[in-house]
Amino acid sequence: MKDLNIALIGHKFMGKTHTHAYTDLPIFFNPDVRVVKKLLCSNEADVKEVSKQWGWESYTLRWEEAVESKDIDVIDIAAPSSLHSDIAIAAARAGKHVFCEKPLALTLEKAKEMMQEVEKAGVVNMVGFNYRRVPALALAKKLIDAGMIGDVYHFRGIYQQSWLVDPKFPLVWRLKKSEAGYGSHGDMGAHVIDLARFLVGEVEEVLCEQRTFVSERPKPLSSSGLSAVAGKEMGAVDVDDASSMIMKFKGKAALGYFEATRYGTGHRNQNFIEINGSKGAITFNMEQMNELEYYSCADADEVQGFRKIIVGEPSHPYMGSWWPSGHIIGFGETFVNEMYDFVQAIAKESKVHPDFRDGFLCQKILETAQISARTRRWQKVDEV
């Protein structure tokens, strides 16, 4: 079996999810390559210690080293969003396969360039919308493709977190446009929009409204991941706290609604999806990510009702590789599923979704929505 040498750039939240994925892959799956955790990159000094603890063979402070190295087959980008495009473009030009966390780039132009470069280079490319690898959502896709809910009338995707409800929570990098590109819209909303495209189809036109509920927050003295310590100086929040959006789909009557908020008091990480169709319906909530609710109009009249499917059977996507019936998996395992599909695409020289084109198209909808929020009217995606 051939080795597949990975260089991972980034060693924070996403760096950890990807490390975990590569580490667990051979225990649960049988990929056609041997995945090697070759090189961990970060410009922070603790990368040395972290690389050792996480089982990477070596480390570097310069991502360029990874791109230049002949040993490396895959560049996996889990670095801050502002670095995505430089790394991805260099990697593509060096002929490396590229995995990139979402959002692809801080601007649509950069995202487009990244897409063009990987397509020109002909390398396998994937963007980190890991929710497609939640078994319950993969099952939803399977049911929809099999026609089991019929034509779609309604899509609702409501993603709620609540970590900004406290006005004293500090101004972390996710609240700065220069570093994050977008607020809730790009961070959580990107997942919802990707799922809308995945499960329903292309978006034609959008109408968006945004809010920044708390416009000034204490600058952080220090921060790590989502936690931070507030200082005394105040600074301006220049991204959205919440986004609300009505959508039209291409060639479909379906009415779409999308929402992302960091002020969803009561919800830590609720990504609620509902799709109602002419033959059935499904609902999903990320906080109960091992469950899919499914309603079938074909059931006999007196016993119709939403079925709560515990997505933990060998017959369910990915679950045959995990534990026996009914033993659930967690958030971290969605990345193992994702990386399995990624490395298999490389092994079999095939395509994998969602690729950079999906990442670009998703970002285009985000941009379109922001234009609509400014102009306060419908905006066509194709005109952006």
**Contacts of its own copies in 67-126 (CB under 8 A):** none
- CA–CA dist 255, 204 (Å, integer): 11
The DSSP symbol for 25 reads H
Q: Which is nearer to its own copies, 147 or 326 (CB)?
A: 326
Cβ 63 to its own copies shortest distance, Å: 21
Type of residue found at 179: E
Alpha carbon distances (Å) from 14 to 19, 123, 283, 370, 380: 8, 22, 27, 26, 33
Is 298 a binding residue for its own copies by CB under 8 A? The answer is: no
The DSSP symbol for 344 reads H
Neighbours of 278 (CB within 10 A): 12
Is 301 a binding residue for its own copies by CB under 8 A? The answer is: yes
Q: Examine residue 31 and say whether the peptide bond preceding it is cis (omega within 30 degrees of 0).
A: no
Question: What's CA 70's distance to the chain center, in Å?
Answer: 29
Is 27 a binding residue for its own copies by CB under 8 A? The answer is: yes
Is 362 a binding residue for its own copies by CB under 8 A? The answer is: no
Q: Convert residues 139-168 into a mask of x (bound to its own copies by CB under 8 A) and - (unbound).
A: x--xx----xx---xx-x-x-xxxx-x-x-
Type of residue found at 72: I
Is 223 a binding residue for its own copies by CB under 8 A? The answer is: no
Is 19 a binding residue for its own copies by CB under 8 A? The answer is: yes
Is 207 a binding residue for its own copies by CB under 8 A? The answer is: yes
- CA–CA dist 382, 311 (Å, integer): 37
Which of 36, 83, 246, 384 touches its own copies by CB under 8 A? Answer: 246
Cβ 18 to its own copies shortest distance, Å: 11
Alpha carbon distances (Å) from 316 to 57, 308, 319, 323, 335: 35, 14, 6, 12, 17
Is 288 a binding residue for its own copies by CB under 8 A? The answer is: yes
Positions in 166-205 near its own copies (CB under 8 A) = 167
Is 35 a binding residue for its own copies by CB under 8 A? The answer is: no
Cβ 351 to its own copies shortest distance, Å: 25
- CA–CA dist 14, 79 (Å, integer): 8
Is 350 a binding residue for its own copies by CB under 8 A? The answer is: no
Cβ 17 to its own copies shortest distance, Å: 8
Is 213 a binding residue for its own copies by CB under 8 A? The answer is: yes
Q: Residue 297 is encoded by which pair of tokens?
A: 């109009």
